[in-house]
Structure 1
Amino acid sequence: MFTSVDDVSARLAASLPAVRELLRRARRLHWLNPEPRSHRGTGDSAARAYAALVDMHECRTVHQLNALVGRLLPV
Structure 2
Amino acid sequence: MKYEIILFDVDDTLFDFSMSEGMALHKAFSEFGLPTGFADYEAHYKEISKLLWRDLEQGLTTLSELG
Name the TM-score, length of structure 1 as normaliser: 0.29
**More strand by proportion, 1 or 2?**
1
Name the TM-score, length of structure 2 as normaliser: 0.31
- Relative contact order: is structure 1 or structure 2 higher (C-alpha 8 Å, sep ≥ 6)? 1
